[in-house]
Amino acid sequence: MTTTPQTLFATHEATLRQAVEASRSRAYWSAFPEMPSPRAYGETAAADGEAAFAAYQGKPFVLDQPGATGTAGGERSPFGIDLGISYPVSDIDALLTAAKAAMPGWRKAGPDGRAGVCVEILKRLNARSFEIANAVMHTTGQAFMMAFQAGGPHAQDRGLEAVAYGWAAMTAQAPAARWEKPQGKNPPLVMDKRFEVVGRGVALVIGCATFPTWNGYPGLFASLVTGNAVIVKPGPTAVLPLAITVKIAREVLAEAGLDPNLVTLAVGDTIAKDLALRPEVAIIDYTGSTGFGDWLERNARQAQVYTEKAGVNTVVIDGTDDPKGMVRNLAFTLSLYSGQMCTTTQVIFVPKDGIQAGTERMGFDQVVAALAGGVDKFLSDPERAVEVLGAIQSDATLARIEEASKLGTVALPSRAIAHPRFPEARVRTPLILTMDAADEDKYGHELFGPIAIVVKTDSTADSLERAARLTRTRGALTAGLYSTDPALIEQATDAFVEAGVALSVNLTGGVFVNQSAAFSDFHGTGANPAANAALCDLAFVANRFRVVQSRVPVVAEAAQ
């Protein structure tokens, strides 16, 4: 049987319906196994993935797309390996022309057909998770397990979530209707109507350096499923994971009889800015610095712009029944990927008089010492530590750790750790500082990387007021609270809801404030300056397409 969008929809319809139902119920669900086990992925999957990754190195990346004018490359793994891969540079006009030309056929595949194709792409990506994990690891500096999970199945789940939302939104109205309006004793007015879903134009996805697939897939798949062509512009240091993604997407599109130029890769120095201002570009998804995010929002006026930018994530500690669990949980949060997650806690507010911890009081200094000790202990075994910390992605972050250590009182210095397998890897443990509440000019803006600050406040009320205000003014993707007082928890929840940030309360076990689960947790809210959209909700997909109708009378209508 020939593969068509319709056959792919038939194949994947059950998955799609499960994804829609999960995103409605918000209960636990995942389409893609998160453990890199041979049982789930096949006995040879790990070795195959490593071999595929090795085969890319030192060569041009083969991607047969229009307008090739040269090549660009230069990725270096934060674990200390030059990848030596060059990618085709394409002429912008050629990319845009090809993208536009591909759209009418994509429109005619319809919502079902497009969803089928998108799920097929995701399934193929899933089968290549080990290959992508190696690519993510050696571009972002994530340790392997995280690169596999966040870069593979979790990113694929986020992509599927976007497909599910897009498909549900596109099919929120019937594709056709017979409209019959009674006219009293006269015959009714009868019209046949058709409602076509039309993409907005060419979509641009601007990838980030730390989570190229996890942060890139939602926009990519939300735009694609809703009928747009997508140009993917990776961050210059993390091209490979998205180049592989584009290649797989193009293969699936071609196999389904569609124009592969619906998904293309853009590399080059100024290409993000150049593309962003083109009238053909109707949608932009961006993850990265506030500077360029604000520039896009200000200047790419012709486009619908979705941005995730910087923020200051806070945790308020009022008290806890389980101080050890709290410290263990926070130590993992601060250590994971050396704090290079947009969701990592930066500021921990603790009252100057300390907290109630189980049956005992813990003074401010004791809380700081427990945190510092907890992180230090958690990272005491280098072999284990590097599998949590990964490597520092950029020189800028490396320099920031150094500079930040002068900003406050150092409670735990950042240490370099020698990586047992990658001698040139730049591995650093978290820096923990203490500051006074009045030092907001120092702690009150994003210090990206393994930098945490315990801030001494007057009281929990003061902590909450400061956390909520920082969220409103500086943005945040996450907030945390530890308290044993139900009334305070309720009041604080209300305050964080009003401030517009997702709150995690009393995490002491295996769920972490910096992790969010597709189909259940919204990543970002769009309600504070850290992001103007959430991954994924209806608002993230509903503006990526339009419904255009036509109508025609069915029977002879009554003359007036």
Using CB under 8 A as the binding rule, the residues of this chain from 355 to 414 that contact its own copies are none
Site string for its own copies, 197-216 (x = CB under 8 A): -x-x----------------
Nearer Cβ to its own copies, position 351 or 480? 480
DSSP string, 471-523: HHHH--S-EEEE-S-HHHHHHHHHHHHHHT--EEE---SS--TT---TTTS-B
Nearer to its own copies, 390 or 500 (CB): 500
CB nearer its own copies, residue 185 or residue 301: 301
Minimum distance, C-beta of residue 377 to its own copies, in the bound complex (Å):
13
> Is residue 538 within the footprint of its own copies (CB under 8 A)?
yes
Q: Does 86 engage in binding with its own copies (CB under 8 A)?
A: no
- In the complex, minimum distance from the CB of residue 484 to its own copies, in angstroms, rounded to a whole number: 12
Residue in 140, 245, 504, 514 binding its own copies, rule: CB under 8 A: 504
> Is 39 or 421 the residue whose CB approaches its own copies more closely?
39
Helices (H) and strands (E) in the chain, counts: 19, 22
Q: Is 554 in the site for its own copies (CB under 8 A)?
A: no
Select the span of 153-161, 195-203, 229-237, 434-442 touching its own copies (CB under 8 A).
195-203
d(C-alpha 398, C-alpha 395), whole Å: 5
Shortest Å distance, C-beta 310 to its own copies: 19
Q: What number of chain residues touch its own copies (CB under 8 A)?
A: 77
Chain centre distance of CA 361: 39
Q: How far apart are CA 484 and CA 493, in angstroms?
A: 13
- In the complex with its own copies, the residue whose CB is nearer, 364 or 378, is 378
DSSP 422-490: -TT--EEPPEEEEEETT-HHHHSS---SSEEEEEEES-HHHHHHHHHHHHHHH--S-EEEE-S-HHHHH
* Minimum CB–partner distance for residue 9 and its own copies (Å): 20
Which of 178, 361, 377, 384 is the binder for its own copies (CB under 8 A)?
Answer: 178
Q: Which of residues 174, 396, 399, 416 is near its own copies by CB under 8 A?
A: 174
Q: Is the dihedral of CA 358, 362, 368, 374 positive or negative?
A: negative
Q: Which stretch binds its own copies (CB under 8 A): 40-48, 180-188, 252-260, 340-348?
A: 180-188
One residue of 38, 42, 70, 104 binding its own copies per CB under 8 A = 104
For its own copies, give the closer residue by CB, 192 or 353: 192
Q: How far is CA 43 from CA 36, 47, 411, 466, 560, in A?
A: 11, 9, 46, 52, 75
CB 158 within 8 A of CB 518: yes
Least distance in angstroms from the C-beta of 274 to its own copies: 22
Q: What is the DSSP string of 328-377?
A: HHHHHHHHGGGG-STTS--EEEEETT-EEETTEEE-HHHHHHHHHHHHHH
Give the residue, chosen from 26, 352, 377, 384, that forms a contact with its own copies under the rule CB under 8 A.
Answer: 26
> Angle, nearest 10°, between helix axes 240-255 and 217-225?
20
- d(C-alpha 171, C-alpha 266), whole Å: 31
Amino acid identity of residue 219, one-letter, is: G
Candidate residues 17, 59, 194, 377; the one interacting with its own copies per rule CB under 8 A: 194
Closest approach, Cβ 518 to its own copies, in A, equals: 12
Nearest distance, CB of residue 231 and its own copies, angstroms: 20
Select from 55, 50, 35, 34 the least CA-distant residue to 421.
50
In the complex with its own copies, the residue whose CB is nearer, 26 or 352, is: 26
CB of 29 to its own copies, least distance (A): 9
Residues 6+ apart with CB under 8 A from 27: 520
Instruction: For the CB of residue 396, give the shortest distance to its own copies in the complex, in Å.
Output: 29
Binds its own copies by CB under 8 A, chosen from 42, 74, 358, 553: 553
Q: Is 46 helix (H, G, I), strand (E, B) or coil?
A: helix
Single out the segment in contact with its own copies by CB under 8 A; choices: 173-181, 268-276, 360-368, 418-426.
173-181
In this structure, which amino acid lies at residue 479?
A: A
One residue of 1, 14, 487, 559 binding its own copies per CB under 8 A: 559
Taking the least distance from each CB to its own copies, the nearer of 487 and 556 is 556
Question: CB neighbours of 425 closer than 8 A, spacing ≥ 6?
Answer: 78, 79, 80, 386, 391, 419
When binding is defined by CB under 8 A, the residue of 10, 47, 438, 558 that contacts its own copies is 558
Binding mask 458-487 for its own copies (x = CB under 8 A): ------------------------------
Scanning residues 41 to 80, which ones bind its own copies (CB under 8 A)? none
In this structure, what DSSP letter does residue 261 have? G
In angstroms, the CA 105 to CA 542 distance is 21
Q: Work out which of 17, 24, 59, 352 binds its own copies, going by CB under 8 A.
A: 24
Report in angstroms the alpha-carbon separations of 94 from 87, 97, 100, 230, 476. Answer: 16, 5, 10, 14, 39
d(CA 156, CA 126): 7
Q: Which residues, numbered 273-332, are part of the site for its own copies (CB under 8 A)?
A: 297-298, 301, 325, 328, 332
Select the residue interacting with its own copies from 110, 390, 526, 529 (CB under 8 A): 526
With H, G, I as helix, E, B as strand and everything else as coil, classify residue 207: coil
How far apart, in whole angstroms, are the C-alpha atoms of residue 98 and residue 421?
44
Q: Are 90 and 63 spatial neighbours (Cβ–Cβ below 8 Å)?
A: no
